[in-house]
Chain A
Amino acid sequence: MATASANNRSWYKRNEIALTPWVFLIPGIFMFSLYVIYPILQSFWISFHEWDGLGEKTWIGLANYERLLGGDRKFEISFWNNLRWLVLYLLAIPMGLFISLFLNQKVFGIRFYKSLFFFPFVISQVVVGLVFSWFYLPNDGLFDVLVGKVGIDISGGILGNPNTATYGIIAAGLWPQTAYCMILYLTGLNAVDPEQVEAARLDGAKGARMLWYVILPQLKPATFIAFVVTIIGALRSFDFIAVMTNGGPFGSTRVLSFYMFEESLSEFGFRMGYGAAIAVVLFFIMLGFIGYFLWSMYQDEKGAH
């Protein structure tokens, strides 16, 4: 027995460097596979079924997808709203850049200002959503009062009007997202090479030209991260919609992530299969961006070796 254990130990010792990473990885990989990787595959599987979440699953092949892509109005609305989110949410990037340029000074108390500007990002989207829905209240809301002074009257208020509700929610979402992009750019601006700026100044560059030709190229890593987090934030938008309009009025503010939730856990019954199919579509849209992100990371890794 004693020799066997001694042998074991030496075998482990001999292979220690090869074995250690796996010992360290196993708990993480196990948890991640159980709660993330396997569920993705399961969702694909469920999307081929009709299922109420409790009883037996009935195999229906591609029927869910046919229904989804064959003229489901709610799906179309959600899809177009997702596109609106994607495009308009990107405004957070230039807005964040603008604020960061405004705040990139060394005056008394500027650190305090910077952190207060970042506030909206730290607060829960639920709270931000509630705050904005009061801000948008018809007749009494500050927004309605302000635009009323200019003579604009939105019937039902921003959130009560199907034509404006989605834009109102996106504006609320832009608030914290802009704060995030601002912080990314402030950090980026800190690392801008002062010698290059001085050299460009001697060559007579300033203002917009300096920004475009000298500063922005150096901010590329910050822009890249801002782009990734903004796109993903736009596609993940759920909290704002759930809190501010719950998909209404007349379903006009649904996005895919919200529609999926509604189908799967609605009060009218659990249509898990159909919900899973919506999630799969959303997943593939997101996968395009994730793929691009991973690809550029891979290029970096190759460059590092």
Chain B
Amino acid sequence: MFPTPIEKRSRSAQIGYQALLPVVLIIWLLPLIAVAVFSIKPDADFTNGNYWGWPSSFELFNNYGKVFFESDMPRYLLNSVFITIPTVIGAVLLSSMTGFALGVYRFRGNLLIFFMFIAGNFVPFQILMVPVRDLTLSMNLYDTKTGLVLFHIAFQTGFCTLFMRNFIRQLPFALIEAARVEGVAEWRIFVYVVLPLMKPALAALSVLIFTFIWNDYFWAIVLTQGPDSQPVTAGITSFNSQFRAAYHLMSAGSIVAALPPVAMFFLMQKHFIAGLTLGAVK
């Protein structure tokens, strides 16, 4: 193990390390801690210039109550849910199929199609922007959640295919061979043999895609406008203009917007990290 395990070092080094951890963590998260404190401060603190001090009174319920009952925030949140969930399902479904096809079968063009998915996944969004906006307009899906979902599903298929295909490659191929010998139809092999083995991959991808889509901002402002269909990332910026300089409400809003992916991350941490570090260990 590197660096040298701390328990093999002197007692003072151990205590020093344990003491240093929270200090470094607080410095690392300082901007976030500041926002959390902002979000429970009264408005008066800001007019009096008490930006960075201790709150003069705790307005937790007041501030968050305003965000939930006097702003469009709940609608934006709901939009985000209705955009994110179908995208996760669609992208994971499509890519487990493409990943299965590319990972199990040998045919001409296999690697070429695989590389097409990978390359497309890394493309800058801007090269897609004008045509995709156009396409969405012509399908009458501009400013709808459906329009956003369809694009997200299609685009995420690139990354998810890369992930699924590499995962399927690591499965014991003998299982598939054995099923074939038994005369099981290919699609049944997919449903009854491969899919159950892919559970960890499905979980990892679902959390990752959830976070990516929940946090998307660019496509939200390109393909939608207004509280009817915009997700929370776009909502928070219009929130910004609604409550100009009302830092306490803005902070509360930001925290609310950030919570779902954070909760997802904590619940599914193992899968999340497995997904992100795919290929980092060999």
Q: Are these two chains actual partners, yes or no?
A: yes
Which residues, 95 to 120 on B, are CB-close (under 8 Å) to A? 95, 97-98, 100-102, 104-105, 107, 110-111, 113, 115-120
Residues of B within 8 A of A124 (CB): 214-215, 217, 233, 257-258, 261
Residues of A within 8 A of B127 (CB): 39-40, 43, 276, 279-280, 282-283
B171 within 8 Å of A (CB atoms): no
1/0 per residue A215-226: CB within 8 Å of B?
100000110011
**How far, in Å, is A34 (CB) from chain B's closest CB?**
7
Contact (Cβ within 8 A) B131 A39: yes
Contact (Cβ within 8 A) A282 B124: yes
Contact (Cβ within 8 A) A293 B217: no
Which residues, 98 to 156 on A, are CB-close (under 8 Å) to B? 101-102, 104-107, 109-110, 113, 115-120, 122-128, 130-132, 134-135, 137, 140-142, 145
A68 within 8 Å of B (CB atoms): no
Given contacts A43-B131, A194-B1, A239-B217, contact A24 B100 (CB under 8 A): yes
- Contact pick for A123, options B24, B120, B215, CB 8 Å: B215
Q: Which of A86-94, A157-165, A179-187 contacts the other chain? A: A179-187
Which residues, 19 to 56 on A, are CB-close (under 8 Å) to B? 20-25, 27-29, 31-32, 34-40, 42-43, 46, 53
Contact (Cβ within 8 A) B17 A107: yes
A203 within 8 Å of B (CB atoms): no
Give the bracket for the number of chain A residues in contact with chain B: 35 or more
Contact (Cβ within 8 A) B52 A22: no
- The B contact surface, by secondary structure, is helix
Residues of B within 8 A of A130 (CB): 236, 240, 250, 254
Contact (Cβ within 8 A) A28 B52: no
Given contacts A21-B105, A131-B31, A191-B281, contact A29 B2 (CB under 8 A): no
1/0 per residue B175-204: CB within 8 Å of A?
000000000011100100000000000000
Residues of A within 8 A of B110 (CB): 21
B174 within 8 Å of A (CB atoms): no
Residues of B within 8 A of A135 (CB): 31, 34
Residues of B within 8 A of A43 (CB): 127-128, 130-131
Residues of B within 8 A of A260 (CB): 126, 129
B158 within 8 Å of A (CB atoms): yes
Residues of A within 8 A of B158 (CB): 32, 36
- Contact pick for A131, options B35, B102, B282, CB 8 Å: B35
Contact (Cβ within 8 A) B3 A104: yes
Q: Which residue of B lies closest to A302 (CB)?
A: B111
Give the bracket for the number of chain B residues in contact with chain A: 35 or more
CA distance in complex: A134, B247 (Å): 9
Which residues, 276 to 302 on A, are CB-close (under 8 Å) to B? 276, 278-280, 282-283, 286, 289-290, 293-294, 297-298, 301
Contact (Cβ within 8 A) A238 B155: no
Residues of A within 8 A of B5 (CB): 105-106
Q: Which residue of A lies closest to B250 (CB)?
A: A130
Residues of A within 8 A of B279 (CB): 221, 225
Contact (Cβ within 8 A) B35 A18: no
1/0 per residue B235-271: CB within 8 Å of A?
0110010000001001000100110011001100100
24 contacts between A and B (CB under 8 A): A17-B105, A24-B190, A29-B98, A31-B150, A31-B154, A37-B116, A37-B120, A39-B130, A43-B131, A105-B17, A107-B17, A116-B29, A119-B32, A123-B258, A124-B261, A134-B247, A135-B31, A135-B34, A184-B276, A187-B273, A187-B281, A235-B124, A239-B217, A260-B126
With A29-B113, A184-B277 given, can you name 4 additional A-B contacts, CB distance below 8 Å?
A107-B7, A242-B217, A264-B129, A279-B124
